[in-house]
Structure 1
Amino acid sequence: MEKIEHKMVDVNDINMHIAELGHGPTILLIHGFPELWYSWRHQILYLAAHGYHAVAPDLRGYGDTIGAPLDDATKFTTFQVVGDMVALIDQVAGPNEKVLVVGHDWGAVIAWYLCLYRPDRVKALVNMSVPYTPRNPRFKPIDGIRAIYGNDHYISRFQEPGKIEAEFAELGTERALKKFLAYRNPTPPVLPKKLGLGDSPNKPIILPSWLSEGDITYYTSKYEKTGFSGGLNYYRAMNLNWELSAPWTGAQVKVPTKFIVGDIDLTYNTMGIQDYIHKGGFKKDVPLLEDVIIMQDVGHFLHEEKPDEINQHIHQFFKQFCDEV
């Protein structure tokens, strides 16, 4: 870990913290919620050792990246965040250069939009956990979630600024992070208001083998400084993303892609997703989808739970697009 280099980069009117290591083709690693660059620590070390230049930013609103207004979710749409990624690619790979991209959770969503908006900047994509979701012109995403799952679904509960942040504060940053990062259930989290976060403060949270107390300490140190609003703003901008992306209704993602998901990931078990992945819809929307990997008995944070397998999947897929690795 000591080998990983850290620096600040001015991109798209924010000051972005990145972790990087290695020389060779650039791989951009995009994290999700509630994660940080740190979530890619295993991949950074492996990929650098195998001839790549691995770059993992703290996304706007997260960690040591500064400059985005945390009280304004309209500054967290895919337009701004993809703009951040394009500006970062210019900095770490060069103007007009293409990079390899890996995404997870919200990072996967951002990676899909990066490939949709700017396929000229991406050689190939490995995306994890969240499949591409084509824009439905009839339903806004938050409205659809509320109609299907109700107001206690975690994404519904994330919508009102300040409310869930207050509950996280009452629970404590460390315990809130443990609850999210240790979550290993095929059903989406339900957070009924009358029960707060449904937590018994005296009940210990058993961490999985791949997540240490030291890892939690690092995440906690960063979230205690920034709070959760930056990450929650990505959820709060979902309906605005739907409005802004209207010109791409029906558009395909035309970048060579490999998709990986765990079979007990809540995303894989969302209504209709397995049929979409396995019965032709996914391939229709992402015509250059080359491989779909369903990892058995693996949860949402698969790149941390099974880093060796994920590292090999990334390398084996990307090396066909690189002469020098």
Structure 2
Amino acid sequence: MIDTTGIKTRSGLTFTADVAGPAEGPLVLLLHGFPESRHSWRAALPALAAAGYRAVAPDQRGYSPGARPDPADLANYAFDKLIGDAIEIVSAEGYDGKRFHLVGHDWGGQVSWGVASQHPKRLASLTILSRPHPSSFRRALQKEDGDQKHRSRHHRAFLDADTGKLLLADNARRLRDGLFGQGVPSEALEDHLSVLGNPEALEAALAWYRSNKGLAADIGTITVPTLYVWGDVDATVGPDAAYGTAEFVAPSFVMEVLPNVGHFVMDQAPAKTTDLLLAHLKKHPV
């Protein structure tokens, strides 16, 4: 059973979250990406609960109405604040100081890399979907062939003040056809738009990009046992950035490539991705 609740943190923000599993179970925190929501994890939460884990999937800063500081002040969406939210959510759920499992996709993956860098002793395991290690991503962006730069061209558009209006125009046509145009089921798309398909939430989500331009944060080698899952037809993350991630994780790193799967792996291959996640968690108990 999945319950939807509000998680109030020390910072005074209240995050809308889906939770499942026994309250005393090992915690698994799942962080969604853009342009998605907590609904990314709807297939994983019941499976995690059945395996005895306490699964918590919040709508992140700006996506949750109760955790939406003014996006006009980009300092509200600085990378350290996004990392801090993850740690505070864990504390608010009763796991203050305890180790937990962390899972992140896309922007949630970027935040997860940051948590693993700043708080490695807090993590029993790290699972990243799609988002390469920031150092690998930066290197791929700088390559002369321009492949990753072309794949990431939408990041530049997100800096424009009119982008939010354009993305929501015509019943969010550009979100539906452009960013979700990688085989995401229509039901999943509607779930995400129920969270993000309004000007207030979308402007706050775009503030993540505007406050953290380039996404190439200074993050060194990750020492947490890491599973990296990448779809080989990902339109936004190329093979250079994906395969290069292995160089920046030690000593325990596993990469799983999903054939004919795009960027939104939990929406496109939920059963396979969940199986990989469960096996990784079992291998690295809290």
TM-score interval, smaller chain: 0.7 to 0.9
SS at match of 2:67: coil
Q: How big is the shift at 1:234?
A: 1.4
Checking the alignment, whether the CA contact within 8 Å between 1:86 and 1:121 is kept in structure 2 is: no
Tell whether 2:155 aligns with 1:155: yes
Partner residue, 1:114:
115
User: Conserved in 2, the CA contact under 8 Å of 1:39 and 1:304?
Assistant: yes
Q: Check the 8 A contact 1:69/1:75 in 2, yes or no.
A: yes
What is the match of residue 194 of structure 2? 221
Aligned to 2:176: 178
Could you tell me how far apart the structure 1 residues matched to 2:61 and 2:175 are? 19
**1:53-72 deviation per Cα after TM superposition (whole angstroms, max 9, x unaligned):** 11000000114443421222
1:248-304 superposed Cα distances (whole Å, 9 cap, x missing partner): 5xx31110001110000124426x325xx2xxx533321134211111111111112
Q: Which moved more, 1:255-264 or 1:91-100?
A: 91-100
**Contact preservation (8 Å) 2:77, 2:208:** yes
**Equivalence for 1:62:** 63
How big is each residue's C-alpha offset from its partner over 1:151-171, in whole Å with a ceiling of 9 and x where there is no partner? Answer: x921111112x2111212333
| Alpha-carbon distance change, 296 to 216 in structure 1, aligned in 2, over 3 angstroms | closer
Q: SS of the counterpart of 2:196? A: helix
Aligned twin of 2:221: 252
* Residues 262 and 299, structure 1, Cα contact 8 Å, conserved in 2: yes
Distance 1:293 1:71, change over 3 A: same
Tell me how large the CA RMSD over aligned residues is: 3.0
Instruction: For structure 2, list consecutive stretches of 5 or more residues without a partner in the other structure.
Output: none
3-state SS, counterpart of residue 101 of structure 1: strand
Larger radius of gyration between Structure 1 and Structure 2: 1
- Per-residue CA deviation, residues 233-257 of structure 1 (Å, 9 max, x unaligned), is 1111223976xx66x5xx3111000
Q: How does 1:1-325 map to 2 (within 5 A)?
A: 3-11=1-9, 12-23=11-22, 24-134=25-135, 149=149, 153-160=153-160, 162-173=161-172, 175-180=173-178, 182-184=180-182, 208=183, 211-212=185-186, 214-225=187-198, 226-239=200-213, 251-269=220-238, 272-273=240-241, 277=243, 281-322=244-285
Which residue type is aligned with residue 264 of structure 1? V
Letter in 2 for 1:299: G
Deviation of the 1:218 alpha carbon: 3.1
Unaligned runs of 5+ in 1: 185-207
Deviations 1:38-65 (A, max 9, x none): 1110011111111111100000011444
Separation in 1, partners of 2:271, 2:208: 29
Q: Which amino acid aligns with 1:154?
A: H
Identity of aligned residues (%): 24
Distance 2:180 2:68 in 1: 30
Paired residue type of 1:273 = A
TM-score with structure 1 setting the length: 0.77
User: 1:256 is matched by which residue type in structure 2?
Assistant: P
Alpha-carbon distance in 2 for matches of 1:94, 1:29: 15
The CA deviation at 1:9 is: 1.7
Post-superposition shift, 1:148?
Answer: 7.8
Q: TM-score, normalised by structure 2?
A: 0.87
Aligned length: 280
- The 8 Å contact of residues 36 and 193 in structure 2, kept in 1 or not, is answered as no
- Residues 215 and 56 of structure 1: is their aligned pair in 2 closer, same or farther, counting only changes over 3 Å? same
Taking structure 1 as reference, are residues 29 and 153 closer, same or farther at Cα in structure 2, changes over 3 Å only? Answer: same
Check 1:51–1:285 CA distance in 2 against 1; reply closer, same or farther (3 A cut): same
Q: 1:283 to 1:148 in 2, by over 3 A?
A: closer
Cα offset, 1:136, TM superposition: 9.6
In structure 1, the residue corresponding to 2:40 is in which secondary structure?
A: helix
Match of 2:42, SS state, is helix
1:219 & 1:40 partners in 2: Cα distance?
11
